[in-house]
Each structure stands twice: as structure tokens, then as C-alpha cells.
Amino acid sequence: MQLACFDLDNTLLATDSDYQWGQFLIEAGARDREQHEAANQRFYADYQAGRLDIDAFLAFQLAPLAEHPRATLDAWHQRFMREKILPSIGRSARKLVQQHREAGHTLLIVTATNAFVTAPIAREFGIDNLIATLPEEVEGRYTGRYAGTPSFREGKVTRLEQWLAGQGASLDDVRESWFYSDSQNDLPLLERVTHPVAVDPDPILESIAHQRRWPVISLRH
């Protein structure tokens, strides 16, 4: 197996879908602007600084899903895709995915952002395999909690190993593997693949990539 894994936010996307979903909810009148925007920006700054409390963040991120019926959420997401996501998918990102597809590689998106937000984005890229944080559902409604291991930092390695185990394999069995990411938070998985690639990286990841002679690319230009 040859495995091409892609982070999503600020990697394949020229934005952060998590943050933009919060902004969309504010614009849709579903969240109080002052309170939600302040918390959204604080968590985003913590993420960029590599100090995000994932449990606190997920409690904040998943709460709106529990407050509305699925039909309403799905209708909002269709608008969200049109207004926030499609404009942030560049030709270079689509081309990179297509190159790995044409090479016969197995494609995965591996993201900390929850699966409700990211599953339609994965479909837009034509990628069937998505590893994302799973929002808990009971009788067709989200509970505001998460299920299993969040796919964040070391959790991305855990979840990828679980996915590979379902294919009867492990990372050690994969002949070649790529992981594309912008963030220092993804170092645990970048260090496990045979081809780590920094994409429009944050300053810490950029420094590490240069020290270790990892490729550094841009999908913005």
C-alpha cells in the first residue's frame, strides 16, 4: 500500500473550516457574535501556538450541533460549503490530490475538525477515506460530545493506525506514505510517515522542516 494523507485546514484549504464554521453560525444568527467570536478566536490562537486544550475546544465546537435538528444543520452546511469552503479550494490543492490519485495511492484526509463539518469537504475532493473527530450521535441527533479518540496531535496517529488495522495493515507495513500539513500540531504523524511535507507551514513547523530537510511547498500560489 502507498498512502497519501492530507491535513485539511490551512493545508488543502486556504482557510480553517473549524473557525469558518463558527463564523458562519454567527452570520446565520445561530450564535451570539460577541461571545462566540471571542471564544473562537481564543481557541484558534491556542491551536496556532500549539497549546490547544482539545477537550475544552470540542465542548465548545460541538455544542451548536446538539442545539439544532439535523435537517437544519445540513441546510446550513450546504450554504457554508458555497460561501466559505469552495472559494478556499485552490487549483494547486486539487492538482496535488489528483497526482496522488493518478499514481494509484490510497487517499485519506486526516483532520482534527469534526466529521460533520469535514465529510462534505472530503467528498468535494473526491476522497472517500476521512479520519476526523467523531461527534457523538444518539437517535439521529448530536449530543455535543465526541466519540472515540479525537484525531488531534498523537490522536491522528492512533486513529490512522486504527483505520489501517481495519485494512489488515499498520503504518509499519505501508511501503510509502505521505502526510501534508501546515501545523506544528501534526508533528506526531509527520514523524511517522516516509514522506513528510510541510505545506504553507507555521513558523515552528517551517523551522523544523528546514532542519530535517523535509520538503516545504505552497498550495496558495
> What amino acid positions are annotated as catalytic residues?
7, 9
**Which strands form 2-6's sheet, in the order they lie side by side?**
141-147, 129-138, 106-114, 2-6, 176-181, 195-199, 216-217
Q: In whole angstroms, how far apart are CA 134 and each of 61, 69, 142?
A: 12, 17, 10
Would you say 53 and 59 are in contact if contact means Cβ atoms under 8 Å apart? no
Buried b (16+ CB within 10 A) or exposed e, 89-111: bbebbeebbeebeeeebbbbbbb
How far apart, in whole angstroms, are the C-alpha atoms of residue 17 and residue 47? 13
How far apart, in whole angstroms, are the C-alpha atoms of residue 38 and residue 211? 36
Cell of 189: 504523524
